[in-house]
Amino acid sequence: MKQAALAALGVIALIFGLASIPLISAASPAPAPTQVPMARPDFSPMMFLAGSWSCTQMLRGKQRPDTSTTTVAMDGAWMVTQDTAPPFDQYRNYTITGTTYMTYDNSIKRWVQTSVDSSGGYGTGTSPGWQGNTITWTGKGLDGSSGTDVVTKISDTETSDASTATDPAGKVAKVTIRCVKAAN
Protein backbone atom coordinates (compact mmCIF):
# COMPACT_ATOMS: atom_id res chain seq x y z
CA MET A 1 0.00 0.00 0.00
CA LYS A 2 2.81 2.33 0.82
CA GLN A 3 4.37 1.74 -2.59
CA ALA A 4 1.07 2.39 -4.35
CA ALA A 5 0.68 5.72 -2.54
CA LEU A 6 4.22 6.71 -3.44
CA ALA A 7 3.65 5.68 -7.05
CA ALA A 8 0.45 7.73 -7.16
CA LEU A 9 2.28 10.75 -5.75
CA GLY A 10 5.03 10.24 -8.33
CA VAL A 11 2.47 10.14 -11.16
CA ILE A 12 0.79 13.29 -9.83
CA ALA A 13 4.19 15.06 -9.60
CA LEU A 14 4.98 13.95 -13.15
CA ILE A 15 1.66 15.29 -14.43
CA PHE A 16 2.23 18.65 -12.71
CA GLY A 17 5.77 18.73 -14.04
CA LEU A 18 4.66 18.00 -17.60
CA ALA A 19 1.85 20.52 -17.33
CA SER A 20 4.28 23.27 -16.40
CA ILE A 21 6.64 22.67 -19.35
CA PRO A 22 4.49 24.48 -21.92
CA LEU A 23 4.23 27.48 -19.59
CA ILE A 24 8.00 27.76 -19.31
CA SER A 25 8.70 27.21 -22.99
CA ALA A 26 5.97 29.66 -24.00
CA ALA A 27 7.62 32.45 -22.00
CA SER A 28 9.31 35.16 -24.04
CA PRO A 29 13.07 34.98 -24.21
CA ALA A 30 14.97 37.75 -22.44
CA PRO A 31 15.39 40.73 -24.76
CA ALA A 32 18.81 41.24 -26.27
CA PRO A 33 20.76 44.05 -24.64
CA THR A 34 20.43 47.39 -26.37
CA GLN A 35 23.78 48.43 -27.81
CA VAL A 36 24.88 51.87 -26.69
CA PRO A 37 26.37 53.73 -29.63
CA MET A 38 29.83 55.12 -29.06
CA ALA A 39 29.64 58.89 -29.29
CA ARG A 40 32.64 60.14 -31.22
CA PRO A 41 33.21 63.88 -31.30
CA ASP A 42 33.39 65.81 -34.53
CA PHE A 43 37.06 66.73 -34.48
CA SER A 44 36.93 68.50 -37.86
CA PRO A 45 37.47 71.99 -36.31
CA MET A 46 40.49 70.63 -34.42
CA MET A 47 42.07 68.37 -37.05
CA PHE A 48 44.64 70.94 -38.15
CA LEU A 49 46.24 70.29 -34.74
CA ALA A 50 47.05 66.67 -35.70
CA GLY A 51 50.74 66.19 -36.36
CA SER A 52 54.02 67.32 -34.83
CA TRP A 53 54.69 70.86 -33.63
CA SER A 54 57.72 72.83 -32.41
CA CYS A 55 56.90 75.44 -29.80
CA THR A 56 58.76 78.17 -27.92
CA GLN A 57 57.92 80.45 -25.05
CA MET A 58 59.83 83.08 -23.13
CA LEU A 59 60.34 81.95 -19.54
CA ARG A 60 62.69 83.58 -17.01
CA GLY A 61 64.32 85.55 -19.82
CA LYS A 62 65.09 82.54 -22.01
CA GLN A 63 63.37 80.83 -24.91
CA ARG A 64 61.98 77.53 -23.62
CA PRO A 65 61.48 74.98 -26.42
CA ASP A 66 59.12 72.04 -26.51
CA THR A 67 57.74 69.64 -29.08
CA SER A 68 54.33 68.05 -29.24
CA THR A 69 52.56 65.49 -31.35
CA THR A 70 48.77 65.26 -31.57
CA THR A 71 46.79 62.26 -32.80
CA VAL A 72 43.21 61.04 -32.67
CA ALA A 73 43.21 58.03 -30.36
CA MET A 74 41.12 55.74 -28.17
CA ASP A 75 38.82 54.61 -30.98
CA GLY A 76 38.23 58.20 -32.11
CA ALA A 77 36.99 59.43 -28.72
CA TRP A 78 39.96 61.66 -27.86
CA MET A 79 42.65 63.83 -29.39
CA VAL A 80 45.83 63.07 -27.48
CA THR A 81 48.83 65.40 -27.40
CA GLN A 82 52.21 64.13 -26.19
CA ASP A 83 54.50 66.99 -25.19
CA THR A 84 58.21 67.08 -24.32
CA ALA A 85 60.00 70.11 -22.87
CA PRO A 86 63.75 69.57 -22.36
CA PRO A 87 65.71 71.14 -19.50
CA PHE A 88 66.56 74.76 -20.26
CA ASP A 89 67.94 76.53 -17.19
CA GLN A 90 69.28 75.97 -13.66
CA TYR A 91 65.75 76.03 -12.18
CA ARG A 92 64.44 73.19 -14.27
CA ASN A 93 67.23 70.86 -15.24
CA TYR A 94 65.14 67.85 -16.23
CA THR A 95 62.85 67.00 -19.13
CA ILE A 96 59.11 67.30 -18.55
CA THR A 97 56.78 65.11 -20.55
CA GLY A 98 53.07 65.68 -20.61
CA THR A 99 49.90 64.26 -22.10
CA THR A 100 46.71 66.18 -22.84
CA TYR A 101 43.43 64.44 -23.65
CA MET A 102 40.76 66.50 -25.43
CA THR A 103 37.20 65.57 -26.40
CA TYR A 104 33.77 67.11 -26.75
CA ASP A 105 31.25 66.60 -23.94
CA ASN A 106 27.83 66.84 -25.55
CA SER A 107 26.06 66.91 -22.16
CA ILE A 108 27.65 70.28 -21.27
CA LYS A 109 28.16 71.44 -24.88
CA ARG A 110 31.86 72.12 -24.25
CA TRP A 111 35.24 70.90 -25.36
CA VAL A 112 37.07 69.45 -22.37
CA GLN A 113 40.70 68.65 -21.79
CA THR A 114 42.66 66.95 -19.05
CA SER A 115 46.44 67.27 -18.82
CA VAL A 116 49.04 65.49 -16.72
CA ASP A 117 52.83 65.75 -16.70
CA SER A 118 55.91 64.01 -15.36
CA SER A 119 56.44 66.63 -12.65
CA GLY A 120 53.10 65.82 -11.01
CA GLY A 121 51.26 68.69 -12.65
CA TYR A 122 47.68 68.26 -13.78
CA GLY A 123 44.79 70.37 -14.91
CA THR A 124 41.43 70.44 -16.60
CA GLY A 125 39.85 73.02 -18.84
CA THR A 126 36.76 73.65 -20.89
CA SER A 127 35.98 75.69 -23.98
CA PRO A 128 32.83 76.47 -25.95
CA GLY A 129 34.88 76.03 -29.14
CA TRP A 130 36.28 78.20 -31.88
CA GLN A 131 35.11 81.79 -32.19
CA GLY A 132 36.58 82.84 -35.50
CA ASN A 133 40.27 81.98 -35.32
CA THR A 134 40.50 81.76 -31.49
CA ILE A 135 39.53 79.20 -28.89
CA THR A 136 39.55 80.09 -25.20
CA TRP A 137 40.17 77.44 -22.55
CA THR A 138 39.37 78.13 -18.89
CA GLY A 139 40.08 76.03 -15.86
CA LYS A 140 40.03 76.10 -12.08
CA GLY A 141 42.41 74.00 -10.00
CA LEU A 142 41.46 72.08 -6.90
CA ASP A 143 43.91 74.28 -4.99
CA GLY A 144 42.10 77.49 -5.97
CA SER A 145 44.35 78.32 -8.91
CA SER A 146 42.78 79.32 -12.21
CA GLY A 147 43.81 79.98 -15.74
CA THR A 148 42.86 80.89 -19.26
CA ASP A 149 44.55 79.98 -22.50
CA VAL A 150 43.55 81.82 -25.67
CA VAL A 151 44.83 79.91 -28.69
CA THR A 152 44.92 81.82 -31.96
CA LYS A 153 45.07 79.90 -35.21
CA ILE A 154 47.36 81.96 -37.41
CA SER A 155 47.28 79.31 -40.14
CA ASP A 156 46.98 75.52 -40.42
CA THR A 157 50.69 75.40 -39.54
CA GLU A 158 51.08 78.13 -36.90
CA THR A 159 49.40 78.98 -33.59
CA SER A 160 49.96 81.44 -30.76
CA ASP A 161 48.80 80.93 -27.16
CA ALA A 162 48.29 83.72 -24.65
CA SER A 163 48.15 81.97 -21.30
CA THR A 164 47.33 83.54 -17.93
CA ALA A 165 47.60 81.58 -14.68
CA THR A 166 46.62 82.77 -11.22
CA ASP A 167 47.99 80.82 -8.26
CA PRO A 168 46.01 80.29 -5.02
CA ALA A 169 47.65 83.39 -3.48
CA GLY A 170 46.51 85.54 -6.41
CA LYS A 171 49.88 85.86 -8.16
CA VAL A 172 49.39 86.17 -11.93
CA ALA A 173 51.76 84.75 -14.54
CA LYS A 174 51.40 85.40 -18.26
CA VAL A 175 53.09 83.42 -21.01
CA THR A 176 52.91 83.54 -24.79
CA ILE A 177 53.66 80.36 -26.72
CA ARG A 178 54.29 80.20 -30.46
CA CYS A 179 53.98 76.86 -32.26
CA VAL A 180 54.88 75.91 -35.82
CA LYS A 181 53.84 72.62 -37.39
CA ALA A 182 56.64 70.40 -38.58
CA ALA A 183 56.77 69.62 -42.29
CA ASN A 184 55.41 66.16 -42.97
The predicted model gives 179-183 an average pLDDT of 92
Residue 16 within any structural domain of the chain: no
pTM: 0.77
Residue 27 within any structural domain of the chain: no
**Residue 158 forms beta bridges with which residues?**
155, 180
Name the residue among 94, 184, 102 with its Cα closest to residue 137: 102
CATH number at residue 152: 2.40.128.20
Residue 3 within any structural domain of the chain: no
Number of domains in the chain: 1
Which of 158 and 28 is assigned the larger pLDDT?
158
Dump pLDDT digits (tens) for 64-106. 899 999 999 999 999 999 999 998 778 878 999 999 999 999 9
Mean pLDDT of the chain: 86
Residue 144 within any structural domain of the chain: yes
Residue 21 within any structural domain of the chain: no
Range of the domain at 144: 47-181
Residue 40 within any structural domain of the chain: no
Write the CB contacts of 156 (distance below 8 Å, at least 6 apart in sequence): 48, 181
pLDDT above 90 covers what percent of the chain? Answer: 68
Q: What pLDDT is attached to residue 31?
A: 82
Write the CB contacts of 132 (distance below 8 Å, at least 6 apart in sequence): none
